[in-house]
Chains A and B, each alone.
Chain A
Amino acid sequence: MPVLTPAKSSWFSGETLWIVLVIVAAYGIVPLAGSDYLLDAVLTPFLALSLAAVGLNVLTGYAGQVSLGSAAFLAVGAYAAYNLHLRVPALPLLIDLVLAGGVAAAIGIVFGLPSLRLRGFYLAVSTLAAQFFVQWALTKFSWFSNDNPSGVIDAPVLSIAGSAFTSAAERYVFSLTIVVVLTLLTLRLLRSQSGRNFIAVRDHEIAAKVIGVPLLRTKLLAFAISSFLIGVAGVLWAFAYLRTVEPAGFNLDRSFQILFIIIIGGLASLRGSFIGAAFIVVFPLLLSRVGAALLGSVFDSGVLEMSQRIVIGALIIVFLIAEPRGLIALWDRAFAAVRPAKRPA
């Protein structure tokens, strides 16, 4: 794990303005100006995977524990929320959402236990157990999908206090609110003693132990927080975006996708999670639209799809060579170049 600088304090000073601007635009302009396609098929999955990436970044980027089980926690969140909604109909959806995150956190703690003994690649391999176990359990026990023969669940309509979120814009605003609130809370946590403990454990575990960081608690807390966030992201993915779920949708590929988001976006950077998600989720769609518009009449969609993969693969290599710390570091460098006077020393 490379030694990375912790989140800069400028998050709270100079860049607060930027955060506010982005949030205002996301709430004020996007839902009004965006088409249904943009909101439903691009931004909602982007928000769900961004939140999952924020979650994994807490664990991997900040606390230094590599995990390949993210998709499992997405699935746990989605299925937990579905079952809570189905079996305890009295609970409001927001409580379901929080409890589903809680269930994911509990399972995260269980699968986080090996982190006390294992590190690096060995830990990554042990988190694969979560990935395979969860998918197996969801397929094996049809109770989880309410005995639907196909193993597919229909997500309920999102509604809070009687008002339903049925249009694309409403689902987007719902997801956005959850993501903004949880991201700000995560930011707050990372600035606290626990957040500094994460970084201490990541940068030098023995040194951290020597200065009195409780390893067990810190690692398990990282797993819990991370799984909680990913679990809630799973609820958004299932309820706000797909509106249907099957266990195969949460396979190892999805875990890798989230891991790539944070590596490409930038480890130990919350903004990096969002930029990485934009690159992995939104960029291929853009590319496919452009490709189809220019060449769709000549090549069939299969050829276009293959060429997009080549383009994206090549870009990933180029970006990572140009800046191993991820797109966010490129972004900051570009930004600093534009405004050299304000460049921090």
Chain B
Amino acid sequence: MNMMRRLKVTMAAALAVGLANTFTAHADEQFFPLQSYRVGPYAAGGTGFFGGFIDYLNLINIRDGGVNGVKLTWDEGETQYEVERGVEVYERLKSRPGIAAWNPLSVGIAYAMIDRITKDKVPLITINHGRTDSTDGRVFPYVFPLLLNPYSETSGIVNYIASKEGGADKLKGKKIVVLYHGSPYGKETIPIYKRLADKYGFEVEQIEVPHPGNEQQSQWLSIRRAKPDYVVLRGWGVMNPVALKTAQKVGFPADHIIGNVWSNSEEDVIPAGDAAKGYIAITTQASGADYSVLQEVIKTVYGANKGNLDDKKRIGSVYHNLGIVNGILNVEAVRIAQAKFGKRTLTGDEVRWGFEHLQLDPARVEALGAKGLFHSINVTWDNHEGDGRVTFQQWDGSKWKVVSDWIAPDWASLRPIIEKSSAAYAKEHNIKIRTSGDEPVSQ
């Protein structure tokens, strides 16, 4: 690397740019504060996701000149997936003008931000993760667990296992072990697995792997003793390849391990080598770079040498594609809000309105160049998840192969549980439950 030369040139350039930035008046800009993590045990997820997100924002800026002429800007703060660093970055960036939305990609950080962003009236996006009951937009006006909340994910996985066994009635008497990451994210689904086990009559045993999860011998010995029919891997970062390798050591077949949505990336299976062959995982967005939006990112962004990933082989990987999808959802929310409020820099509350009307049907998804990348989304003022579909993919040793259709989780049966939990939160925090989407949000 020509690091030194780069450094020298940029020192000078950065000073000049910094000065210029201070003096130019802000044209219409929409700012994305990024609490990213490129260091630490979860760096693979962080670099892929934020890389994809930034690549998409870059694509919109270069190809379209921004959203209707409003340029997208961003700034990164390193969190290492640690809550107090996330909070520090939040406090650092929150006073920037024109913030569109926060995307911390960490349940712990998101939890710490809920009170803060609600007070500041800026949306908080927790795509594919987050606090499940924040799906209820009546109580959490500013929080959006887009596409897939943890309960829907659980329901999707159980439905998939049922379909493999030949129907929901065949789940009776089966045994499922959930191996979960010892963090707020990992624990989020403990009650829902219990509930679904009661509903379908299967037996569930939930075993914790302490963060970061690079030692799992005892957990897998317990699994061997339990002799389950399936193991659900609710992992994150380094925990996933270690789980697959340890499973191989104790002789548990990989094709009976079902990974959740944060155990579904190339970075999870490649380090496990052989042990990952046959492993199945849920996903909301397909992997691969064949989709036209990915091709445009490669041509326009990486062609202009503005790509965010250092390793171009990771273009189209699961995390990168999730970042791209996250970029699409954020940008479209801004676009939808602009159609109502005007083509200018929007306030956080206006972008919140945009997210609450983020309805992309398969035709619109195709127009955005993402047909097949993800299915659709239909967010409303009271459903902040937006009915995302899931699919399952199997690792064949070199790439992910889709092995199911787009499956709908069992939203109707999950909603009452979510509403019960959000009602308790509303009571505890004296929140007035909204009764319609037009109502201005009071806090």
Question: Which A residues contact B (CB, under 8 angstroms)?
Answer: 35-37, 40-41, 45, 139, 149-152, 154, 241-244, 246, 248-249, 285, 288-289, 292-298, 300-306
Q: How far is the CA of A68 from the CA of B75 in the complex (A)?
A: 37
| A272 CB to nearest chain B CB (Å) | 23
For A305, the chain B residues whose CB sits under 8 A away are 38-39, 78, 80
**Number of A-B residue pairs at CB separation under 8 A:** 111
Are A152 and B111 in touch, CB under 8 angstroms?
yes
Q: Is the interface of A mostly helix, strand, loop or mixed?
A: helix
Contact of B84 among A149, A249, A294, A297 (CB under 8 A): A249
A302 contacts B115, C-beta separation under 8 Å: no
Given A152-B111, A243-B112, A294-B11, A36 and B75 touching (CB < 8 A)?
no
Which residues of A are found within 8 Å of B28, using beta-carbon distances? none
> Do A300 and B83 contact each other (CB < 8 Å), given the known contacts A150-B187, A248-B183?
no
Once A298-B10, A302-B43 are accepted as A-B contacts, the answer to whether A150 and B188 lie under 8 Å apart by CB is: yes
In the bound assembly, the distance between CA atoms of A326 and B18 in angstroms comes to 37
Chain A nearest CB, measured from B363 CB (Å): 36
Docked CA distance A193–B436 (Å): 67
B184 pairs with A285, CB closer than 8 A: no
Extra contacts, 17 of them, besides A246-B111, A295-B14, A302-B78 (Cβ < 8 A), are A41-B91, A149-B188, A149-B191, A150-B188, A154-B115, A244-B83, A244-B112, A292-B77, A293-B18, A294-B14, A294-B18, A295-B11, A296-B76, A298-B6, A300-B38, A302-B43, A303-B38
What is the 8 Å Cβ interface bit string for chain B, positions 1-36, against chain A (1 contact, 0 not)?
Answer: 000001100110111011000000000000000001
CA distance A149 to B190 in the complex (A): 7
Decide yes or no whether B108 CB sits under 8 A from chain A: yes
Residues of B within 8 A of A242 (CB): 83-84, 87, 112
Say whether, besides A288-B78, A296-B75, A304-B78, A248 and B14 are in contact (CB < 8 Å).
no
A/B interface sample: 14 pairs, CB < 8 A: A45-B84, A45-B88, A152-B184, A154-B428, A242-B84, A246-B111, A248-B182, A285-B88, A288-B78, A292-B77, A298-B10, A301-B76, A301-B77, A302-B47
B contact set with A: CB distance below 8 Å: 6-7, 10-11, 13-15, 17-18, 36-39, 43, 47, 75-78, 80, 82-84, 87-88, 90-92, 94-95, 107-108, 111-112, 115-116, 131, 182-185, 187-191, 208, 211, 308, 428-429
Asked if A152 and B108 make an inter-chain contact with CB atoms under 8 angstroms apart, the answer reads yes
Q: Are A249 and B75 in contact (CB under 8 A)?
A: no
Of chain A, the residue at the smallest CB distance from B189 is A149
B288 CB, min distance to chain A CBs, angstroms = 25
From known contacts A246-B184, A297-B14, A304-B78, infer whether A150 and B84 are also in contact, taking CB-CB under 8 Å. Answer: no
Contact yes or no, A241 B14, CB < 8 A: no
Are A150 and B131 touching (Cβ within 8 A)? yes
Whole-angstrom CA separation of A295 from B116 in the bound complex? 29
Cα distance A35–B308 in the bound complex, in angstroms: 32
A139 touches B14 (CB 8 A): no
**Separation of A288 and B47 alpha carbons in the complex (Å):** 19
Of B6, B38, B47, B116, most A-chain CB atoms within 10 Å:
B38
Q: Which residue of A lies closest to B35 (CB)?
A: A301
